[in-house]
């Protein structure tokens, strides 16, 4: 059996791309390409700017901290989910939140709305909140580079849960709750309408917060008889919805 060709590495660049144009990668992207991907002159790579589609490219020159690429032809390649899902995620601590953002991105989530809940271990405000949101955006970018998505999920500014509930969007809204009488599988998800999932932090949403979400139009559903960890519940729900929609 023949060996599979090596996978061409993917690199996100924020600026708009154009076939035939030379490009010097931004510092962060260049560092990743040189130190992590170990790219050298002549190597192939794929570039994407998060606006859809991707470009073939070749490393034109590689220095210690700088990498220039020759941008090739644009390819109309999309790997988006047929569902338009926004994840309202109660902020959890450290790697748990990073893992949730990473796996939700890989599973095709369209947007992530982090919210501060009563039981959130992490308390963020001001510059610390902005820095943390920017960190989650970088986690989402890295996940897109890995999984092949060419459109970045939107990682929205951090909000207190009550502020979010006062302006909750229209469409199907589901609250992931282990105590809910209905199962996720009993809810038919349609690719024609947006869907919003709400998942709590480490200890879940409080009873008052669940009541607030229900008042905002969220329908409580469970993922079965077992209580899942915060970093497991949202990815599990997204995977289940993808299977129900026929993506798997």
pLDDT band of residue 140 (cuts 50, 70, 90) is very high
| Domain-terminating residue out of 47, 75, 103 | 75
pLDDT of amino acid 129: 82
Q: Name the pLDDT band for 1 (thresholds 50, 70, 90).
A: very low
Residue 164 above 90 pLDDT?
Answer: yes
User: Is 56 in the same domain as 111?
Assistant: no
pLDDT digits (tens, 9 = 90+) for 29-84: 898 899 888 999 999 999 999 989 999 999 999 888 899 999 999 999 999 999 99
Residues 91 and 202 in one domain: yes
* 202 within a domain of the structure (yes/no): yes
Structural domain of residue 224, as residue ranges? 85-244
Residue 188: the pLDDT is 60
Average pLDDT for the chain? 90
- For the cut 60, the answer to whether the pLDDT of residue 114 exceeds it is yes
Residues 70 and 102 occupy one common structural domain:
no
| Confidence band for 28, pLDDT divided at 50, 70 and 90 | confident
Q: Which residues, at least 6 apart from 200, have a Cβ–Cβ distance to it below 8 Å?
A: 90, 117, 119, 176, 209, 230
Tens digit of pLDDT for each residue in 166-222? Answer: 988 888 999 999 989 888 888 765 556 789 999 999 989 999 999 999 999 999 999
Instruction: Look at residues 22, 57, 75 and tell me which one is the last residue of a structural domain.
Output: 75
């Amino acid at each position: 059996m023949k060996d599979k060709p090596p996978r061409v590495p993917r690199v996100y660049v924020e600026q708009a791309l154009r076939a035939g144009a030379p490009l010097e990668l931004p510092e962060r992207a260049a560092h990743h390409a040189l130190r992590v991907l170990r790219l050298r002159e002549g190597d192939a790579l794929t570039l994407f700017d998060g606006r859809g589609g991707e470009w073939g490219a070749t490393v034109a020159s590689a220095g210690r901290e700088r990498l220039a690429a020759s941008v090739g032809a644009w390819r109309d390649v999309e790997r988006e989910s047929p569902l338009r899902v926004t994840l309202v995620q109660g902020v959890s601590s450290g790697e748990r939140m990073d893992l949730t953002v990473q796996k939700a991105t890989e599973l095709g989530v369209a947007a992530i709305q982090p919210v501060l809940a009563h039981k959130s271990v992490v308390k963020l405000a001001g510059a610390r909140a902005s820095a943390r949101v920017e960190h989650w955006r970088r986690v989402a970018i890295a996940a897109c580079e890995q999984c092949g998505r060419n459109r970045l999920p939107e990682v929205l500014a951090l909000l207190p849960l009550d502020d979010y509930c006062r302006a909750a969007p229209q469409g199907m809204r589901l609250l992931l709750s282990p105590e809910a009488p209905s199962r996720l599988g009993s809810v038919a998800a349609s690719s024609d309408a947006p869907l919003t999932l709400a998942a709590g932090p480490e200890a879940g949403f409080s009873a008052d917060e669940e009541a607030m979400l229900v008042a905002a139009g969220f329908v409580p559903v469970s993922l079965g008889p077992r209580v899942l960890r915060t970093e497991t519940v949202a990815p599990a729900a997204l995977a289940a919805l993808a299977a129900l929609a026929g993506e798997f």
